Structure formats: C-alpha cells, structure tokens
Structure 1
C-alpha cells in the first residue's frame, strides 16, 4: 500500500487516524493503541512539549526500550518541529552523557530502569534537561500521563516539511565519540516513493500485514522499519528487546507477516529448540541487513521461514537502506548472494579511488552513494559533514566494487568499523577505554569473524614495562566505561602495535590471521 500524499511523519499519523481510526497501530506486551489513539495522544504530548519550551529545533531525548510511548513521542516531535534523540539504553553512563551533552537535549524521557543514571548525568550537564519519567510504580507510563494530563488532544497547527529534521541518531565516529546524524522526514519516505514509482515490490505492504519491530528504535533500521509500517497504515508488534524465543512466539501468536532483522537474529530464531515451519506459517517476507547472509543460513531460513528474503544495505547517514538484494536474487548457488544489492531506482552508486576519480566495474575502491534519503548533517560538525557528503555524494567508508549489472559487492571497511550483531563498534572507542588501564601502554582493536554474531571484537594489548594485566582484569576495567557489546571477546598481548610511517595502526596486518581464506573481509 502506498499513500503518495503522505510526506512527513506528522501527515502519516493524522491520515490513518482519519481513515483507519480503529485499526491497531502498535501492540507491545499486550497493550495496543489504535491509529486514532496514537494521533490524539501524540497531539497531547506535542502540546506538552511546546508548553515545556521544546518547539521547533529543540532536541528531545528518549532513554528506554521499545514501547508505544516511544512512537507517540516521535510523532509528537514531528508535529512540533522538535527533533527526537533516541539513546541506546545499552550504553554506559559516560556514553549517554556525551549524547545528551552533544545534542543539548531540552527534555529527556526516561524509563524507571534508567532513572537514577539519568538523574546523576543531568547534574553534570551545562544545560539540564527536564526529565519526564515513563514509569511510576508498577504502572508503566503513569508519570508520562501525569506530565501531559489536561492538554487538549485535538489537532494542532502543523508546519512540518519533508526537509525538516525529525530525528538525530548517534553513530560511532573516528574520534571514538558518537556523532549525531540528523535525518529529515524525507529519509523515511524517499525509498518508499521510488519503489512505488517504478512498480517494485522489494519492500511492499499488503492491507492485512502485521509487522514485527525487532530492531530497537535507537537504530536507524528500527525506526525506519517502524515508519514504513506506519506509512502503510498496517499493524506493528513491538518487542521491548529482542529475544529469539519471544520473536518466534510473537510471530506465531500475532500472525506476523513481515519483519526486518539482522542475520544473527535470524540465526537465533531458526536455531530455537523445536521450531519449525509451522511457527512461521504467517510470514511472507523478511528483510535483513547489517551484514551479508551466509548461503547456509539463507537455505536454512528458506526451509524453516519459508518466505521471501530481501537484503538491505545502507548507513545511518544514508537514511538507512540505499541498496537491495531482492527476493529474486536469493537462490541457492547464485553468485549474487555475495552482493550487498543493487541501488533502488533514483539512487546512484559509484566506486572511487583515493584521488576521487571513478573506477570501472570490477575495480575495488570506496563505495559512494547519492540518495534522496541522505542525512541533513552531522550535528555541530560542519567539517565532518562536508568530508562525508563531498560533492553531493555520501562517502560510505566501505570498500567494494560494482559488477557489470550494477550490483554492489562490499569487500572491506575503510573506516575499520566492527559490526557485532548489527551494533556498530568503532575500534577507537575500545582502544581509548583500554588505554585508561595503568598497565596498558597501547592497544589495537579489530573485528574477527564469528558464526553467531557476525563479528566480535578482539584486542591486541601492549603492556607497560614491568607491569601485568590479565584478560579478566581488562574486561573488568572496561565495565562501566563502554557498553558490554563493545567489550573484546578475546585478548592478545603483543610487544608492539604495527603501524605505518605516519603512525596509523595497520589493522589489516592484525586481521590477516583471522580473515585468511575468506572472500569478504566483512562477515
């Protein structure tokens, strides 16, 4: 289903509240809200944000897991012109503090589980955001309801435009500190429109679809996927946090027809004890991204899930997906299974060498994208924005090549990012944290292949003369400094870190042993 008149998130919820008021928009943990309820409650929340001074351009942060409240707040921001800043609840207090400080959030919505941490962080911030609790006692959302109580729920004047910023998602950066990627409304509509314009069903919606939101909304893939379902006016089932057994149960109980996941999630679902095709009988299409899928896992998914598969490739900076390997290319033995996909109509791809010149098909260089869904900017980072969006092209930092048919193959990462079960980990973050240990002279971090998670982090550590540290001591040292998923799964103690003449770590030398014999240097 495609509604071309919808151009912003504010349009979406208002339209479906009028045309499908009683249809369930979202279900979470047994609680359901209709499109009319979601529209009216987001109106109430929007007026409360305006009363708190969080109007156009204000940053509004959310620290919590998936719930109906998250999307209500997202739509409220869309209506006021505020920008939602979702915060990864798996981050350490120091990492959360950086995001709140960098964004200058004026309001922070926080669930009870993280309330004490938020209160401590707030005291360290130069501009202290107003905190709104999403829990009170055993009744989730009671504090939130009290905050917005008494505000009218009728329609308010909305001036949202497709190019207006609507969310700011933090992603790892070269300094080890996350950068705020500002996305406009158009990032959630552009690919939908291109597919409809060319009659392609790579990502399509049927009137009776039920979508499972399994990727958290602090990831671009999570909030983008949720918005595609809202744009189509179908029902979504949101998981508070992913667990394979819960995902299988929700698919079976709710008759889920479509979802978006990372391959490690699919691996865990099909590996659940006792699962079989009957558990996934309602599924018609599954899209996945974050990493390629192995042929073994693809065949297993084709047998057990028994549905169409589509691979998505993109970055937070590209507004999520820019390439797709459609279901027709998911065939056993097909060489295209190694591809990340081909561009959507209206999305351009080129591969360039170090001097910026375009390379011919088959030649490996940096993959660059031109897409109408591209980010607005890195928040407060003009030079980084100009470097990444040079000459109107998004420089992805991925190395790869184009074949003669326009399919893109990703071979390596120029920027060294490690992707652990869909979570980005930049080596500098881990290296900086390890360097704070008194026994560590220097450290180098890489990603190594892992059958379950795609990649895991491995650290190479040089100890100071006369000092010692065990892997366990280093692991304990990192607790509270970086999120657990960033912590190395293995350590090697070496005499020196290999570097080139300019001092740059030669990660390729460290990776050789682990990636030898693999066609792709990403997993």
Structure 2
C-alpha cells in the first residue's frame, strides 16, 4: 500500500492509491478513493458545463451519504461555494436559504424533493470525463447558522484563489496540533448530519488525511457501538448527548462491543457535563478531544484528554493562530477567574455574514468576535464556560447558569435529559424552572432531585419548579433547544 502520509489531500491520495477505501455508506456499500475521485471529477465538469464559475453558489439538500460527500469535494476543487441545507427544514425555510445564498444549482435527495432541484449527482456526472478539470481552485463551504435568534445567516469566507492542495498542509498541521489526527489508515465514523459545520468539516478532513469514512444511517447508541466494533473505527466526531445516551445502555450491551480501536473522539457543539465525560473516558480510555468555537470562529479553543483530566470542565486554551479575551459589559478586560463575554481573534482569516454587513459588524469588537458565551480563564489560560449569554438567568440580582444546574441533575440515574430555563417573576426577575425527561422506570420525585442537588450546587441555584416531560427538543446536532423549551413552557 502506498505511503500517503506526505501527500497533500484527497485528490492526490486518490490518484496515488485508487484502491484505498474512501466511503462505507449507510447501506454498507464501499466506494474506493479512485471511484470517488472519478465521480467528483465528473460532477466538477458537470457544474462547469452548466455555466458555473468561481465564486458561484451550489446548494445540497442531501442526507448523509455518498452524494453529500461528492458535492462537498466536487465544489471544493472548482472554486465554488457549497451550501449544505438541513433537509429536515420546511419548504419555506429551505426556500429562504436557497434564495438568500443565490444558489445557481440545487441538488436534493430522492426522499426530500425540492422544486427545481436535481435529484442526486447522476445528472451532473452523466457524460462527463473522469479526469481532473482544468484550472482547479479551492472552493469553500458556506454554512447557514441561526445562532440564537432570527433568520439563518450564511457564514462566508473569502476563497483562497489557490489550488485545493495548497490549503491542505495548514489544515493537516492544525488537526495534528489540536486533535492528534494524522494522515494514514484511520477510520472516521460520521455520526451527525453533514449539513452542520463540524460533522461536515470532519468528513472533509478525514478524506484529506486519507482516512476511510464510515457513515452511520442515524444515531442509535447500540448501532454506533456496533459500527465501531465492526470497522475498527479509530476516530469520530460526536456531541455530548450521544455520550449520555450510550451511558444509559445496560452494562451487558456496552460490554458486547469492542471499542479499543478508538484513538480520537472529538466532541463539540454543546457543553459536556463533567460526570458524563469522566464516565466515557473510564469506559473508552483517554480518547476524548474537545474543542470550542462556532461556525463563525471555527476551532477557537481545544483541550486534549490528559489536560482535561487535570482540569475537569475546561474547554481548553486558544487553538494555534487564535487569541482570546474575557471582557466586561463596558469592554473592559476582566481578571483571571471572573466570568464575562468570551472574545476571540483569529490569525487564520475572517468571515462575513452573507448580505448582512450590519450583523457582521454587530458580532465584532474591532478584530475580536464574540461567539455569545460567558466564561472565565484560569491562571494558565484554560477557558471554563458558564453558559450562553442568551440563556443566563438573573434571579434576585444574581447570575445563574442553566448549564451548571443541568449537569448536576444529569448525574442522577433517573434523569435522561433536562432543560433549565428562567421564567419571568415580578419579585425575583426570574424563577429557575427545570423540565426533566425521566429515564425509563419509576421517575424520581421533585424532592428527590432537590436532595440530589444539595451537595452539588448552592441552594440559590436550585429550581423553584421541577416538572416532567416525555421528551425535550434538541437540534439534529444534539444541542438542547432552550428557546423552544422556553416558548412551549410560557405558552402553557
């Protein structure tokens, strides 16, 4: 097998080692690097044949699978912006994104028809050559993110204007520094929808490293463990709610699968309760790599397993190329240990919200960007997050962070999921309310949960109201949707 460790990314790896496994799809079908490159080249030619030029936009309303991978890599070598669209959205929501991004071509999956869209990549590829297109240049993915309020915004970065291979060495070096991921014979498990930034980026990273993608049909705890065991998965990207659900499996089910092949499991997208992360590392070993950032800021902070075990709860220090500050309400820099707004500055390039310079400007303080979280730094520069600014509860003039209460409640075996919100109160400003999804079996009583919180968090943080719900709303990437929880609660 050829040594691909020094080759600059997917396109060169596929030429050097065409028989290498590239994708194991949701149905188990295997596509080699050579076969994938041939289809990618055909689709690149097909896009150009329809008149698309550098800087134009293509959108994909596609479930995870081979077509989604092809569109990502095809647009990535002919200087196009690619917009992955959440195919669970309503027709109206999809239409808004397609209009806002000015998509010249839309590719959709057969299970989610979109008016005017091509169905899959076959039409683009038909009759086109399998050779590389002339004048190749790097494209970029433009993800749409809704943040906390308002319509989704397209996060657009300047195209580099170079061939795709020119950007790979920096990416490879960065991933090695942050996640210890290296080129070679890795097996990457895709567990989350690729229309979100982190799963999409890790899919692309894996191919540039020469790894094999194993695409899970959906997230199902035992099913994920079975794929890890069957394909000897070495790395994956997950979100904390996945860990929580896997820990809820019976012990005999967990023991049935061999997870010893795992080397790097990267998690992001939401705060991970300390107890949950410790339990996963007790089970899988010290393989959890965490990073914190956003679609706009990319990977701004990162922490490796042993550093986290020495400082449980941290999301790490600034990633290479980043600086960080904690600022108060008037923009003053806060001392070590004092919570404030987190600001980051990247030396790796900036972004703009498409068609919205006002929102771009509002998110910045000079060169510094605010992801929207409250946190503090310790004396060694490790960041600890408190909560989202929009989720902060102020009760009796005191700041209360819902994530802290949720993490404590999730340590109770009778709690499967929980959302803590602030409800307007004339006397206190806000009252703390906990909405609990109980684990299977007899649910705990509110009093039992309050007693559980007693030694864990201060009494003023305890919920005044605890109610039970069959299920709590989460986004497809596993983030708790406190906005929907709050709206549903108040509507009652």
Pick the TM interval, shorter chain.
0.7 to 0.9
SS of aligned partner of 2:375: strand
Given the alignment, which residue of 143, 163, 186 partners 1:169? 143
Counting only pairs closer than 5 Å after superposition, residues 216-231 of structure 1 correspond to structure 2 as: 216-231=193-208
1:19 aligns with 2:5: no
- Give the deviation of 1:175 after TM superposition: 4.8
State the partner residue of 1:362.
337
Q: 1:205 aligns with which of 182, 185, 208?
A: 182
* 1:294 is the counterpart of 2:286: no
- What's the TM-score, normalizing by structure 2? 0.76
Equivalence for 2:173:
193
CA contact (8 A) 1:460 1:491 kept: no
Q: 1:357 offset after TM fit, Å?
A: 3.1
Going from structure 1 to structure 2, the CA distance change for 1:277 and 1:357 (only over 3 Å counts) comes to: farther
> Is 2:32 aligned against 1:54?
no
Q: Which residue of 1 is the match for residue 296 of structure 2? A: 317
Long gaps (5+) in structure 2: 161-166, 394-401, 426-468
Judge conservation of contact 1:456–1:489 (CA < 8 Å) in 2: no
CA drift of 1:212 comes to: 0.5
Specify whether residues 79 and 296 from structure 1 end up closer, same or farther in structure 2 by C-alpha distance, changes over 3 A only: same
Aligned partners of 1:286 and 1:460: how far apart in 2? 36
Cα distance in 2 for residues equivalent to 1:277 and 1:302 = 17
- Quote how far apart the aligned CAs of 1:106 are: 1.5
Residues 337 and 377 in structure 2, CA contact (< 8 A), matched pair in contact too: yes
Q: Could you tell me how far apart the structure 2 residues matched to 1:92 and 1:378 are? A: 22
**Alpha-carbon contact 1:286-1:307 (below 8 Å) kept:** no
Residues 1:182 and 2:168 aligned together: no
Distance (Å, rounded) in 2 between the aligned partners of 1:353 and 1:33: 52
Asked if 1:270 corresponds to 2:247, the answer is yes
Residue 374 of structure 1: CA displacement? 5.1
* Higher RCO, Cα 8 Å, sep 6+: 1
CA distance in structure 2 between the partners assigned to 1:288 and 1:81 by the alignment: 30
Cα distance change, pair 249–39 in 1 and its aligned pair in 2 (3 A): same
Report the aligned-residue RMSD. Answer: 3.4
Q: Matched residues in 1 for 2:170 and 2:14: separation?
A: 22
2:432 corresponding residue in structure 1: none
Q: Offset of 1:375 from its aligned partner?
A: 4.7
TM-score by length of 1: 0.71
CA separation of 1:185/1:18 partners in 2, compared to 1, >3 Å: closer, same or farther? farther
Matched length: 415
**What is the alpha-carbon distance in structure 1 between the residues aligned to residue 152 and residue 350 of structure 2?**
15
2:79 and 2:383 mapped to 1: Cα distance? 36
CA contact (8 A) 1:191 1:344 kept: no
TM-aligned CA deviation for residue 356 of structure 1: 2.4
Q: Secondary structure at 1:399's aligned position in 2?
A: strand
1:303 pairs with 2:289: no
